Amino acid sequence: MAEHDSFAEKHRRLLDEIAQDARETAFWTGRKAFSDNTMAAMAAVPRHEFVRDGDEVVAYINRPQPIGHGQTISQPYIVALMTDLLDLDGTEKVLEIGTGSGYQAAVLAHAAARVFTIEVVAELGWAAADRLKALQYGNVFVRIGDGYQGWPEEAPFDAIIVTAAPERIPEALIAQLRPGGRMIVPIGRAHDRQTLTLVVKGLDGKVTVDSVLPVAFVPMVKGK
């Protein structure tokens, strides 16, 4: 790990917690351990660079943190789980809906080849773009816009990850998923039951949908 020694031990403990959580939730997820690719990506990203100024002390606690504008940086275990469920091997082109502070995009940047990420809140999106550039994530491309519409000019995508909860799976995202691709998305209303959902598009274009785990995400907001 490249981060300062004051964070290194906290980061190591967080990785151990994520591994423990994976074992404890295997009944729901079917995965008692995450791939080496996923865990290497989680180890490579300095989470303290993606929280608000002054929150660095809690950056490696295994829980979500507010980042302003009513949004959060997701719990590290959930970031790892969602990344792992995409079954990335490092060659993929990935679409992320909900850039936030850029943390999940940074993890994906280590686990995949290219990441296209969309944020509806302009202030968050531009700040994330600056942060990712400063940290030399040259394979991440940020757009301000409506995540419900996806990024049609760059489609199709090998994998899609949605980090805010729509009430149903957006049809545009299903259309932009490559045959053989996987999408992970939390489905449900705000302040109500939400379910992390895995969408797989077969090589024949047939779509299957499986529930993974109860979760709580901020709602997915339509852009103007």
Q: Which residues participate in catalysis according to the annotation?
A: 74
Both structure tokens of 69: 């504008």
Torsion of CA 212, 213, 214, 220, to 10 degrees: -60
Contacts of 156 (CB under 8 A, 6+ apart): 176, 177, 178, 179, 181
Going through the chain in order, the beta strands assigned E by DSSP cover 65-68, 71-73, 93-97, 114-119, 140-144, 157-162, 177-188, 194-201, 207-215
- Residue type present at position 28: W
Judge whether 49 and 135 are in contact, CB under 8 Å: yes
CA distance 56 to 50: 9
Other beta carbons less than 10 A from residue 97's beta carbon: 27
Contacts of 104 (CB under 8 A, 6+ apart): 74, 79, 82, 83, 96, 98, 161, 163
Contacts of 54 (CB under 8 A, 6+ apart): none
